């Protein structure tokens, strides 16, 4: 046990005690270079409290016992206890003893997401953004100039809430050509991203009396948050190898479900043809609605992209996408194509929400698309991202042998499952954070098929130059070797 003062690994203890998980979170800090060890220990302890690994009321080991277990000087532990007590994370009781303060707020969901402080991040593998440095600034500026030169004054008035006709036509042609979408410009609504499309749908469904929708589990937490803002709760539905499992969907009784069939977020599964068919059967049988979030469907590396589900049954699928992955999320431009009988209600909602998207931005995107800039941009990014994906997978194979990667055929991130010997996951995350590598575990996105001790990571690569990907994997490998060397008495250190 911790208080024994020996170097043996402590037994797993009950919640509220200082157990294995907390001890493991501190180990990498103890293995940090001497000049950084004190600070590292403080930040690991702080993180253990913040993340809920150490719950309020937990009694910490004496400074002498913890120092012996971690093989650091007692002074460092005393200093860490004093500092965190001053910050309010810990409190000292009457007589001897230090506890996690009851004043610390309960952890919020996602607290597993241990990350280095922003200023300490050296390589950031968290998924979500494309390479913003590839944004086509000159072509965009040229489109801007050209649009402002010819836009009549009247076009600067309140726009059609559905979007400028010229953009709806350009998008309809683009989506039908690239994604196999049945795209009628009259039914297409321009909005500020998938986020707003989700909220619009949420309001319309709520107006029709719906109070719950199904979402993929694991899936994007944003979907639930956005539906919640429209007064709709979400029910997590499990996946299998082919996509969203249909039996639990049928049993759940929901009449609408959110899906990411081209490249499931975050697992990367491409829904099988059979599963797509079953989902559409479900929608027809229940008069249900499938929301298809095609957030990164444009990026597929080894063969042609899988066409959108919406193309198979446009009256049962509401299709949405945006330029957030292809150009930049900061543009806040996206689209929603809903079944015919929902379109008027969606447009009415869009009008009351914001009176339409900015007219100039819409005209610029229309110009950019019709002159071929969008296709050129996708080709350019596709080349760059494929190279980055290949760099990441080969670096993982070299430095973390036995790692399985999945979801690599498309999108901007992969799933890496590292063998158990690299775990437990909390310790891996803590070491990564200490080495300045920001990671996001798959477990942050929902329920996983089985807790087998493997480390499962969602690694975004598109925004990183190949050299940064290499550096990031090397830092992780060195941090792992360092901790192992130390655990084996070798005192390994991270020098990268």
Ligand X SMILES: Cc1ncc(COP(=O)(O)O)c(C=O)c1O
What is the CB neighbour count within 10 angstroms for residue 329?
Answer: 18
Residues in the chain: 496
Nearer to ligand X, 326 or 403 (CB): 326
Residue 308 DSSP class: P
Nearer to ligand X, 215 or 494 (CB): 215
Cα–Cα distance measured from residue 215 to residue 238, given in angstroms and rounded to the nearest whole number:
9
Cα–Cα distance measured from residue 406 to residue 411, given in angstroms and rounded to the nearest whole number:
11
In this chain, which stretch among 47-55, 82-90, 187-195, 427-435 interacts with ligand X, using CB under 6 A? 187-195
> How far does the chain reach from its first CA to its final CA, in angstroms?
34
Let me know: does 124 contact 319? Beta carbons within 8 Å: no
Whether the bond into 305 is cis, omega within 30 of 0? no
What are the CB-based long-range contacts (under 8 Å, 24+) for 466-469?
466/387, 466/388, 466/391, 468/123, 469/123, 469/388, 469/391, 469/392, 469/395
Q: Does 194 engage in binding with ligand X (CB under 6 A)?
A: yes
**98-137 binders of ligand X (CB under 6 A):** 128
Nearer to ligand X, 29 or 226 (CB): 226
**13-42 binders of ligand X (CB under 6 A):** none
Cα–Cα distance measured from residue 269 to residue 250, given in angstroms and rounded to the nearest whole number:
21
Of the candidates 48, 49, 104, 195, which one interacts with ligand X according to CB under 6 A? Answer: 195
Nearer to ligand X, 46 or 440 (CB): 440
**282-311 binders of ligand X (CB under 6 A):** 293, 295
**Minimum CB distance to ligand X, residue 200 (Å):** 12
In this chain, which stretch among 147-155, 193-201, 301-309, 392-400 interacts with ligand X, using CB under 6 A? 193-201
Residue found under tokens 């999945």: 406
**Minimum CB distance to ligand X, residue 128 (Å):** 4
Whether the bond into 218 is cis, omega within 30 of 0? yes
Nearer to ligand X, 300 or 486 (CB): 300
Secondary structure element (H or E) that encloses residue 124, with its range: strand 123-124
**418-477 binders of ligand X (CB under 6 A):** none
Residue 209 DSSP class: T
**316-345 binders of ligand X (CB under 6 A):** 322, 324, 329, 334
Residue found under tokens 């597929």: 300
Give the residue nearest to ligand X (CB).
Answer: 193
Exposed, middle or buried by CB within 10 Å (0-12, 13-18, 19+), for 188?
Answer: buried
**Minimum CB distance to ligand X, residue 220 (Å):** 4
Q: Does 234 engage in binding with ligand X (CB under 6 A)?
A: no
Cα–Cα distance measured from residue 293 to residue 265, given in angstroms and rounded to the nearest whole number:
9
Q: Does 412 engage in binding with ligand X (CB under 6 A)?
A: no
**Minimum CB distance to ligand X, residue 21 (Å):** 29
In this chain, which stretch among 192-200, 350-358, 360-368, 375-383 interacts with ligand X, using CB under 6 A? 192-200
**Minimum CB distance to ligand X, residue 290 (Å):** 15
**Minimum CB distance to ligand X, residue 176 (Å):** 20
**Minimum CB distance to ligand X, residue 4 (Å):** 47
| Alpha-carbon dihedral sign for residues 335, 341, 347, 349 | negative
Q: Which two tokens stand for residue 477?
A: 């490998």
Of the candidates 18, 265, 368, 422, which one interacts with ligand X according to CB under 6 A? Answer: 265
Nearer to ligand X, 62 or 259 (CB): 259
Q: CA angle, corner 342, sides to 339 and 343, nearest 5? A: 85
**Minimum CB distance to ligand X, residue 201 (Å):** 13
Exposed, middle or buried by CB within 10 Å (0-12, 13-18, 19+), for 152?
Answer: exposed
Q: Does 260 engage in binding with ligand X (CB under 6 A)?
A: yes
**Minimum CB distance to ligand X, residue 324 (Å):** 3
Of the candidates 130, 193, 202, 411, which one interacts with ligand X according to CB under 6 A? Answer: 193
Q: Which two tokens stand for residue 126?
A: 């968290």
- How do beta strands 98-100 and 90-92 pair? antiparallel
**Minimum CB distance to ligand X, residue 334 (Å):** 5
In this chain, which stretch among 86-94, 155-163, 188-196, 460-468 interacts with ligand X, using CB under 6 A? 188-196
**Under rule CB under 6 A, how many of the chain's residues touch ligand X?**
13
Nearer to ligand X, 423 or 443 (CB): 443
Cα–Cα distance measured from residue 50 to residue 53, given in angstroms and rounded to the nearest whole number:
8
Residue ranges in contact with ligand X by CB under 6 A: 128, 193-195, 220, 260, 265, 293, 295, 322, 324, 329, 334
């Amino acid at each position: 046990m911790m208080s024994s003062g020996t170097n043996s690994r402590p037994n797993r203890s009950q919640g509220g005690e200082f157990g294995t998980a907390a001890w493991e979170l501190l180990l990498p800090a103890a293995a940090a270079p001497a000049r950084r060890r004190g600070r590292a220990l403080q930040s690991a302890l702080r993180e253990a409290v913040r993340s809920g690994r150490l719950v309020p009321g937990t009694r910490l080991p004496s400074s002498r016992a913890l120092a012996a277990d971690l093989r650091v000087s007692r002074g460092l532990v005393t200093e860490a206890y004093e500092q965190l007590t001053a910050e309010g994370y810990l409190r000292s009781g009457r007589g001897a003893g230090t506890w996690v303060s009851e004043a610390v707020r309960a952890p919020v969901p996602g607290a597993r997401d241990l990350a280095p402080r922003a200023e300490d991040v050296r390589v950031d593998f968290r998924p979500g953004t494309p390479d913003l440095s590839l944004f086509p600034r000159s072509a965009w500026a040229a489109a801007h100039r050209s649009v402002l030169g010819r836009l009549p004054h009247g076009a600067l008035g309140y726009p059609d809430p559905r979007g400028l006709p010229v953009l709806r036509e350009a998008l309809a042609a683009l989506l039908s050509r690239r994604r196999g979408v049945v795209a009628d410009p009259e039914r297409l609504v321009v909005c500020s991203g998938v986020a707003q499309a989700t909220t619009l749908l949420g309001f319309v469904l709520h107006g029709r009396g719906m109070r719950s929708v199904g979402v993929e589990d694991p899936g994007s937490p944003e979907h639930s948050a956005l539906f919640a803002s429209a007064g709709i709760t979400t029910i997590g539905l499990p996946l299998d190898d082919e996509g969203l499992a249909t039996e639990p969907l049928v049993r759940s009784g929901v009449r609408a479900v959110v899906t990411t069939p081209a490249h499931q977020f975050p697992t990367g599964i491409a829904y099988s043809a059979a599963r797509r068919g079953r989902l559409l059967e479900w929608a027809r049988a229940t008069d249900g609605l499938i929301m298809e979030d095609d957030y990164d469907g444009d990026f597929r590396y080894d063969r042609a992209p899988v066409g959108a589900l919406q193309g198979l049954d446009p009256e049962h699928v509401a299709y949405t996408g945006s330029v957030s992955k292809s150009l930049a999320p900061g543009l806040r431009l996206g689209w929603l194509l809903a079944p015919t009988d929902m379109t008027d209600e969606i447009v009415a909602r869009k009008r009351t929400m914001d009176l339409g998207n900015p007219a100039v931005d819409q005209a610029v995107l229309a110009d950019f698309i019709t002159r071929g800039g969008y296709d050129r941009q996708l080709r350019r990014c596709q080349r760059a991202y494929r190279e980055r994906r290949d760099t990441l997978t080969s670096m993982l194979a070299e430095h973390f042998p036995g790692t399985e990667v999945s979801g690599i055929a498309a999108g901007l991130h992969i799933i890496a499952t590292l063998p158990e010997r690299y775990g437990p996951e909390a310790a891996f995350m803590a070491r990564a954070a200490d080495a300045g590598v920001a990671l996001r575990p798959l477990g942050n996105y929902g329920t996983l098929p089985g807790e087998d001790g493997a480390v499962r990571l969602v690694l975004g690569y598109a925004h990183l130059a190949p050299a940064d990907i290499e550096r990031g994997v090397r830092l992780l490998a060195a941090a792992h070797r360092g901790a192992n060397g130390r655990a084996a008495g070798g005192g390994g250190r991270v020098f990268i």
